[in-house]
Amino acid sequence: MSISQDITDRLMMSRALQLARFGSGRVSPNPMVGAVITSPDGRIIGEGWHRYFGGPHAEVNAVRSVKESDRHLLPHSTIYVTLEPCSHYGKTPPCAQLLTECGFKRAVVAIEDPNPQVAGRGLRMLREAGCKVAVGIMAREATELNRRFLTVQKLGRPWIQLKWCESADKFIGKFGENGQPSPCPLSSPLGKVWMHRHRSMCDAIVIGSGTAITDRPRLTLRSWPGKNPARVVADRRKRVDLETLFPDGNAFRIGDHALRTEIERLGREYEIGAIMVEGGSTLLQSFLDENLFDEIRVEHSPIILNTGVAAPEIPASLPSSTKTLTDGNTVTTYRNPIFWNAISTRQKEITLIS
């Protein structure tokens, strides 16, 4: 492959990844996928992304966007897709079949789809139809984009983010006059907006029964567009009346079985692909102790409480990055390497042409 072709491939895949992000918060439990079609002279003649769960996939929308005057160019064109085209019938027909019918000369795919219903079959369909296939262009970026979906496929459970806000002296709340935990505003206004953005990318929010009783949270999207996630209360003793707390429904109770078993059940029975845990210190620490998380997002406030509910203890070995917010607050994100270790066993070396 020439240097100019490699630059072109990366440029077009970057655009496909940009399009894929438009599906954030709208396509779960499906992956975010973007597609770009270029003609032999290098023009972009078609673009598309997966817009909502159950709707046409990115490849379908890209092909549909091609003008009638350019459709004769499809057999000579290249399609760039951020994830391997599906090869099975689900809510929509297989995209790999559509691409073979269009007769694309070349397909550039960022990463393979580890879904057992696909797992290389889409690429094989394209190759058997005479399409030249390039796999691995911007694979790291595509994996990062769909880490939630890929976690479900590789680890057999939803992607899990732990979230809390802590004071400068590492407390997440106060104690009230009755000696029980009491809400304490520590997040900055911008921090709350970003928290709602992260909520929009999750299918469910998990809290403990103590948080449900003390805070009586709504757990809805109020500062970011999107669909409200399901509400899940870890409540083994059944202390919380879910119908009273969440009168609009879409709420579940867990706690009858081991934590990992319950989380896997949420994914299996309710198609929940991504979870945010916003519980109190006890629930958060239980996820940490079981190494049952993929990401931790901690907002740090300059406020000093001196006493209160201690923040969970984060393993010192976790890699982190810090982002500055307003009002003196900062956010630190920690990544659990378990996902990257698992996904690296699936992704192959970059194959430019095969």
**DSSP per-residue string spanning 317-342:** TS-EEEEE-STT-EEEEEE-THHHHH
Kindly state the tokens that stand for 159.
């992607």
CA atoms within 13 A on the CB side of 33: 32
Kindly state the tokens that stand for 79.
């399609």
The answer for 282, left when phi > 0, alpha when psi is -120 to 50, beta otherwise, is alpha
Residues 131, 133, 136: CA angle, nearest 5 degrees: 165
Kindly state the tokens that stand for 4.
């100019």
278 is annotated as an active-site residue? no
**DSSP per-residue string spanning 23-45:** GTTTSTTSPP-EEEEE-TTS-EE
Residue 279 near residue 204, CB atoms below 8 Å:
no
Task: Name residue, tokens 């262009």.
Answer: 137
Catalytic position from the list 59, 84, 166, 299? 59
> Cα–Cα distances in Å, from 240 out to 86, 236, 260, 309?
42, 10, 21, 21
Which residue numbers are catalytic? Answer: 59
